[in-house]
Structure 1
Amino acid sequence: MIDGLAVAYEGDVARLTLSRPAKKNAISYGMWSALSEVVARVEDDPAIKVLVLTGAGEDFSAGADISEFGELRSSAEGAAVYDRAIDAAVRALTGMRKPSVAMIRGNCIGGGCQVAVACDFRFAADGARFGITPAKLGIVYDFESTRQLVSLIGPAQARYFLLSGRLIDSGRAREIGLVNDTVPDAGLEESTMDFVGTLCGRSQASIRGMNRIIGKILAGQGESDEEVDRIRLDALRGEDYAEGVSAFLERRAPAFTYR
């Protein structure tokens, strides 16, 4: 276990837990630095289909560990080094072809919300709170995370979030599209893992190919290219396609084998 991060493997699923409950899972520089490596290991592990991110205890994460800022972000050079670690973590998450799911309860604020937005899906417990607060610290949010937020909830809501620094509840988060679904706290684990099970049961060739194409669209690509054509052709030639068509015609559940 990396200090502040706990990784567990449950069949096809890897669970990454932000694990500093005494500090509301505030993300330290060491945690930011390790996130990209952990995500890369999950992406490269053929036994894993889905990554679930969550927080230990009552919170997802209250954000970056601001107590470190006086030492690590006291100069422009120090801030640049710190920000590169955050950028690497965010890009590792958004660059995954395997789907990532954030399971959120309690505070999901600042850097914690940044991590959640970088995931493909977000499921929240009633009572969760969301906010991104650089305007309270004199920080300008980075380009990549701003782009992700605008893509997810639109420019008007992104401006509300970033410029005001105000917090919203889980109901409002669902209304604006920040989270996919909200459920009572007691049912969060079951509901989230039920959806994760659905992802695990689908064709991984389809999921990873389509996730890659969505990522290219969100990055600003306006039309198909050779990589997209290759992804689609490889899928048609793959075993999952043959199995999916056979299962449909035979009225049975498919048994996909792509890893």
Structure 2
Amino acid sequence: MSDLVLVEERGDVALVALNRPDKRNAISRALSFRLREALAELQRAKVVILTGEGPAFCAGVDLTERRDPNWADALGVDDAQHWLETLQAVHRHPAVVVAAVNGPAIGGGMTLVNASDLAVASERATFGAPELSFGSFPALSGSSAVKRLLPKHAAQLVFTARPVSAATAERWGLVNEVVEHDALRERAWELAESIAAWEAPALAFAKRALDELAALDWSRALEQGVLVSALTRRLA
């Protein structure tokens, strides 16, 4: 199971790669649990890069498991939301999470990008929420897109069920930048190492503040920002 996720550490930065290239890195239960374990083992990292092995970033949740008539019984009530819990682990991780999107990020794969703090994409990457095409609202990719995108951009992904290009994703703000495919990991490491130069407590507070301030009105957000700034200065 350990080979489902590959981890490379360089000082304060860790690269975590989904490793089911033959399945386009579709998220099986085993991969979901292993990714969560890997993140738990990297609590001291300042920056975590998430990427995929092979031509795809992540093709979403592995639906072949759900075709098993005993799938629900085998999963059990406690593990029924395993992918949601893993996404929460990504979003709440104390490190700054940078998605290095090396290829298609579809459904759950796009949700993984949305759960990350920053994203760099290969020119070959695509992004989509295809669930409506098989009769289901995109529970996680749709709801996370609403948090990351303008309403009509999120609506286009949901209603058309068609992927968009890396260039469109950058224009919409789904990713921060697009680079040549062969330069993707180098650029992700470069970005991660530049962020890791800052103090760990300040990074952790900044990550949490950015998440929480987005839910506040203008005045309250500015007041809270002053408090966070004062606290991080005391910790420096």
TM over 0.5: yes
| TM superposition shift of 1:150 | 1.5
SS in 1 for 2:192: helix
Check 1:87–1:221 CA distance in 2 against 1; reply closer, same or farther (3 A cut): farther
Instruction: Report the CA distance between 1:73 and its aligned residue.
Output: 8.4
Alignment partner of 1:61 is 2:58: yes
When residues 148 and 76 of structure 1 are mapped into structure 2, their CA distance, relative to the original with a 3 A threshold, is: farther
Pairing of 1:176-215 with structure 2 (within 5 A): 176-215=172-211
Equivalent residue number for residue 171 of structure 1:
167
Gaps of 5+ in 1: 241-259
Point out the structure with max Rg over C-alpha: 1
Q: Does 1:20 align with 2:20?
A: yes
Change (3 A) 1:237 1:126: same
Alignment match, 1:91: 88
Output the CA distance in 2 between the equivalents of 1:75 and 1:84. 11
**Pairing 1:68-79 to 2, within 5 Å after superposition:** 68-71=65-68
Q: Does 1:102 align with 2:99?
A: yes
Task: State how far apart, in whole Å, the 2-side matches of 1:85 and 1:38 are.
Answer: 15
The CA deviation string for residues 159-184 of structure 1, in whole angstroms up to 9 with x for no partner, is: 11122210111111111111100011
Please give the per-residue CA displacement for 1:95-142, whole angstroms capped at 9, x wherever unaligned.
123200011112111111111111001101112111112212323333
Secondary structure of 2:50's counterpart equals strand
TM-score, normalised relative to structure 2: 0.87
Aligned partners of 1:94 and 1:215 also within 8 Å: no
CA RMSD of aligned residues (A): 2.8
1:198 partner amino acid: S
Amino acid of the residue matched to residue 234 of structure 2? R
The alignment-based identity, stated in percent, is 26
Equivalent runs, 1:1-259 vs 2, <5 Å: 2-42=2-42, 44-45=43-44, 48-71=45-68, 84-142=81-139, 146-218=142-214, 220-222=215-217, 223=220, 231-238=228-235, 240=236
Give the match's secondary structure for 2:95.
Answer: coil
